Amino acid sequence: MDTTDLVLAIVHHLLVFSLAGIIGAEFVLIRGDLPAATLRRLAGIDRHYGIFAALIIIVGIGRVFWGLKGWEFYIYNWVFWAKMAAFAVVGLLSIIPTVRFISWNRQAGANPAFAVPAGELATVKSYIHAEAAVFLLIPVFAAAMARGYGS
């Protein structure tokens, strides 16, 4: 048995589940009015989103090169690339909410009476909903890969 592969798999899965939790937290917190405390919380959660996403990429690269399946399994597997595309789309969809959270947090810090504009809030909600929907494809592709599809 290869302990490296096991450790990389465990860390990778824990990070992915944590990222799902972060998306879920954003999904829940983005409802209704957003007082300054909630805006700070969203900005902090979103910072963790970026950190966890970067760690997922780093550990995932480790799995490709030091995992039991070998890099050939991943490089030539279309399901792997579909999973990577879904992850990339989730990342791209997260840009607008991140920019808005930073902006709203700054505005709330400068002006205690700041209220998030309804149109911007609706846009961010739609991006987070889209993120969550696309994110659901990632474990689907992972399960297919684990069963040998795509190779």
Number of domains in the chain: 1
Tell me if 123 is assigned to some domain. yes
Q: pLDDT confidence of 1, banded at 50, 70, 90?
A: low
Per-residue pLDDT tens digits for 18-70: 999 999 999 999 987 888 889 999 999 999 999 999 999 999 999 999 988 88
16 within some domain = yes
- Full residue range of the structural domain in which residue 65 is found: 3-146
> Would you say residue 151 lies in a domain?
no
pTM, to two decimals: 0.90
What would the 3-class secondary structure string for 21-66 be? HHHHHHHHHCCCCCCHHHHHHHHHHHHHHHHHHHHHHHHHHHHHHH
Task: Look at residue 19 and tell me if it is in a domain.
Answer: yes
Domain contains 118: yes
What's the chain's average pLDDT? Answer: 93
CATH number, domain of 80, equals 1.20.120
